[in-house]
Structure 1
Amino acid sequence: MRKWLVLLLLLILVGFCAFFFLLPPKKYIRQQEQVSFSSKAFSRGLFNEATWQQWWPGEKKDTTTFRYKGNTYSIGKKNLSSLLINICNGNDTLITELLAIPLTADSIELEWVGASRPSNNLFHQLQQSRWVEGLNSDIETLLQKMKTFYTQVDNVYPFKIREVKVVDSTLISTSATVDAYPTPTLVYGLLDKLKAYAKLQGANETGLPMLNITAKTNGNYLARVALPIDKKLPDTDEIQYRWMLGGGNIFVTEVKGGPHTIQQAFTTMDQYANDFNRVAPAIPFQSLVTDRRAEPDTARWITKVYWPVM
């Protein structure tokens, strides 16, 4: 009887030892998600940790620390194409890396990887193993949340950009070069010339006045204005016929504010076109919704910003 008891105890001991040594010393995190979107735009949004609060499904402690299902995620070092993220739960800590790997101009692969530190305690290893299994499931969910959020254009850019078709294709235009930023008085003086010429020629306005201001290298500014009309008119010394491709593609956004806000919108449009590999066949322009001569408060100006693309 004793021999059988000793043999049973030995078998149990051998079993425990075998189980201990067969357990992998490290537990791994590895989750992947492929995204079809501009790789540049997606990465720029993802690496701006201030935006994480907008999609994170759990508690947001600050701009770099978040909680989800009992675990604390802390964003650490930011590399060129990855973020180091520390995950903690009690005494357990896991250093992980979130990589954003561009595959093409319009696709990117997200990969979240990490490995736990091995424990000498068998029971802690078992606990750690269950914890890491749960983390793999949680991280799969978090990657899906990232994908959904950063593939929405309105979440990546500060202005709501739409692509529409060109409607006003027949224009008359004039311009002036000045040594200071063009004032509303100057701009509307040029537009008054166009309106008077259109009326003289029996043409009707079909849309809002257009404006493009270009800073020259010598410190001067070139102000170009245009007026959409319903028929082609002959050129004069000061006024020229201009044409845009009717039905062509054009980006548009509407902004409220003065020159600084409008310039921000142009910068965003440029970035958006570059992110999605679109080329501008013509100069961008403002469409003047508010009569700026009648409204001196620039904070109240409404402007549509257009960026032709192909």
Structure 2
Amino acid sequence: MAKRSKLRLVLILIIVLALISIYTFIPGTLSISGKVYVHAIDQSLYTTLKNLKQSKENAPHLFPNDIQNASFKITEVTFPYFNLHSAYQKGSGSLEIIPTEKVDSTILAWEWKVATGFNPINRISTYFQLQRLKDSISNFTKNIASYVSQTQNTYGLQIESFRITDTLIATVSQDFVSIPTTEMICQLMERLQQELQLATIKNSGTTMLSQRQEGDKYTVMAGISVQVRPSSISGLQMKKINPSKLLTGIVQGGPASIQRGYLNLRNYILDRNIEEASIPYEIPLINRCTESDTSKWQTKICYPVY
């Protein structure tokens, strides 16, 4: 009897110590949180998260699906906050977009709070479930940071930046009363080559094109980088690009894709309040004069900026 009493006392003591440990180390309210740094502006991050809120299928690869009973979705949106909901976990979660002083640098912070209740078994279950949810949200925010940091995903083209020095450009231009065709532009490019030969000027061989519209008039300019000005009178117009930075992006496709590339790159510039240094231009990477299939065209869009 004495041994049984001692054993019973030991078991009771173990249970009491276990309960004390549970209530001590697993409080009535549990909170998990984290943050990631995103190489993008807050607007790009907000737009991406808002699209995911509207339809998770927009980018299913961003949501981890390998963690058991730890899936969640984005619900309400009130900038800069996004509410999170999980069918497997009680409590409330949120994402917060926090701008920083640096350009293209944003913090994506997240938090989840849940009441564990008085039942010790529920507390333990909630604790481990919350750890799985923590891994899931953490993986999601890392995926988002990687995705949004690539301008291909947010602006439709991979944007790169280069420094340029004083550049002398030999150009020819022509006005048209309607949208110039590829054949018309090719004739202008051929005229540029002829003028360079007449002026005996060596060039880089890379032709730049720019187009602008004023009312019903369309002006196309073709130019090539050169080292010296013509020594005699010629049909060339000389222009100069001052030292600045060059933002570029390559697009695939014909005129519609090229115009979309200009628009996307300009949106990138406007979103960051970047000052333009001179008119934008394009560099055909595929010879449009010999390749009639516009789906094979590749064009580098260039924006000189400060």
TM range (shorter): 0.7 to 0.9
User: What residue number does 1:100 align with?
Assistant: 97
Q: Secondary structure at the match of 1:202?
A: coil
Q: Is the 8 A contact 1:168 1:228 kept in 2?
A: no
More deviation, 150-159/248-257? 150-159
C-alpha separation in 1, matches of 2:72 and 2:296: 42
Given the alignment, which residue of 267, 273, 295 partners 2:269?
A: 273
Q: Is the 8 A contact 1:29 1:135 kept in 2?
A: no
Given the alignment, which residue of 106, 109, 112 partners 2:107?
A: 109
C-alpha separation in 1, matches of 2:71 and 2:136: 12
CA RMSD of aligned residues (A): 3.8
C-alpha separation in 1, matches of 2:138 and 2:293: 50
User: What residue number does 2:251 align with?
Assistant: 255
Tell me: CA distance 1:142–1:298, structure 2 relative to 1, closer, same or farther (3 Å): closer
C-alpha separation in 2, matches of 1:191 and 1:307: 21
**1:97: how far off?**
1.5
**Residues 229-264 of structure 1: CA deviation (Å, up to 9, x unaligned):** 342127969641112246x43122332211111112
Q: Which one-letter code corresponds to 2:222 in the other structure?
A: V
Q: Which one-letter code corresponds to 2:98 in the other structure?
A: I
**1:111: how far off?**
1.9
Q: Is the 8 A contact 2:36 2:107 kept in 1?
A: yes
Q: Is the 8 A contact 1:191 1:227 kept in 2?
A: no
Residue 33 of structure 2 corresponds to residue 30 of structure 1: yes
User: What residue number does 1:76 align with?
Assistant: 75
**Structure 1 unaligned runs (5+)?**
60-66
Count of aligned pairs: 294
Q: Is the 8 A contact 1:235 1:241 kept in 2?
A: no
More deviation, 112-121/202-211? 112-121
Given the alignment, which residue of 200, 207, 213 partners 2:211?
A: 213
Q: Which one-letter code corresponds to 1:186 in the other structure?
A: M
**Structure 2 unaligned runs (5+)?**
none
Q: Is the 8 A contact 1:172 1:226 kept in 2?
A: yes
Tell me: CA distance 1:298–1:168, structure 2 relative to 1, closer, same or farther (3 Å): farther
Given the alignment, which residue of 125, 128, 131 partners 2:126?
A: 128
Q: Is the 8 A contact 2:29 2:114 kept in 1?
A: yes
Q: Is the 8 A contact 1:71 1:87 kept in 2?
A: yes
Q: Which one-letter code corresponds to 1:38 in the other structure?
A: I
Q: Which one-letter code corresponds to 2:72 in the other structure?
A: Y
**Residues 95-147 of structure 1: CA deviation (Å, up to 9, x unaligned):** 42111121334432222123325646453234223322443354344434433
C-alpha separation in 1, matches of 2:61 and 2:13: 55
Residue 191 of structure 2 corresponds to residue 188 of structure 1: no
C-alpha separation in 1, matches of 2:205 and 2:271: 30
Tell me: CA distance 1:236–1:283, structure 2 relative to 1, closer, same or farther (3 Å): farther
C-alpha separation in 2, matches of 1:36 and 1:258: 31
User: What residue number does 2:282 align with?
Assistant: 286
C-alpha separation in 2, matches of 1:52 and 1:195: 47
Q: Which one-letter code corresponds to 1:40 in the other structure?
A: Q
**1:36: how far off?**
5.3
User: What residue number does 1:64 align with?
Assistant: none
